[in-house]
Structures are given as structure tokens and as C-alpha cells.
Amino acid sequence: MQVIANILLALVALIHIYIVVLEMFLWTTPRGQKAFGLTPEFAQESKALAANQGLYNGFLAAGLIYAIVRQDFGASVLFTVFVIVAGVYGTFTASRKIFFVQVVPGVLALLFVLLAH
């Protein structure tokens, strides 16, 4: 169970690393605009806000990586709950696809972390 939990935690961390790259570095590019459904004008106007969001996603990824490396049950639970809460908020305020990209993987990771403990 612990191996599956670690794989799922790593998957969630990788998703958030990808989000960091999109929000901090690719926001104003065609790829970033397509990922978030942005116009070039809005992407340019909001790039500082997006970079800030990206930084927070980086903290989530860092916490998950820490939890995996240290095999820290508390950190695993804490950071997956953070991911889930952020995803639920994003689902209701930004896009329903966040539910499938962030919430579902987070819930699966948390479930296996709890089962492995």
C-alpha cells in the first residue's frame, strides 16, 4: 500500500510542478493561454497574479515531495488535504476541470496514504 501511496503522492506533486510551469513561465504563451482558456490580453494583464498562484502550487509540490522523501505520514495527509481544498475551491470558482485534475488525484492519494498507515 505504501508504494501505491508514494506513487500517487508523486503524481500529485508532478501535476503541481506542471501547474507551476504553466502559471509562472508559460502563462502568456499559446500553451498557457490554451490550458487556462485565456485571451492574450488577459494573460498579459494577469501574469503577475498567475505567477503568485504558481508559487503556491510549488509549495504544495514541495510539501508532497518532502512527505515522500521523509515518509512523513502527517505531512502526506496535510499536503494532500491542502491540494484537495485548493482544488475544491478552484472547481467552484474557476473551472470544473480542476476537480478531475486536482481533487480526484488528491483524494486517491489521501485514501492510499491512510490505508498504508
pLDDT in the model for residue 5 = 98
Please give the chain's pLDDT, 117 residues, in tens.
Answer: 999 999 999 999 999 999 999 999 999 999 999 999 999 999 999 999 999 999 999 999 999 999 999 999 999 999 999 999 999 999 999 999 999 999 999 999 999 999 999
Q: How many of the other CB atoms lie within 10 Å of CB of 104?
A: 13
| Coil/strand/helix, residue 36 | helix
Contacts for 89 with CB less than 8 Å, ≥ 6 apart: none
Scanning the structure block, which residue is given the C-alpha cell 505531512?
75
Q: How many CB atoms lie within 10 A of CB 69?
A: 10
Report d(CA 34, CA 79) in Å as an integer. Answer: 28
Tell me the domain boundaries of the chain.
Answer: 1-116
pTM for this prediction: 0.94
Q: What is the pLDDT of residue 101?
A: 96
Q: Is the dihedral of CA 52, 54, 58, 61 positive or negative?
A: positive
The reported pLDDT for the residue numbered 27 is 97
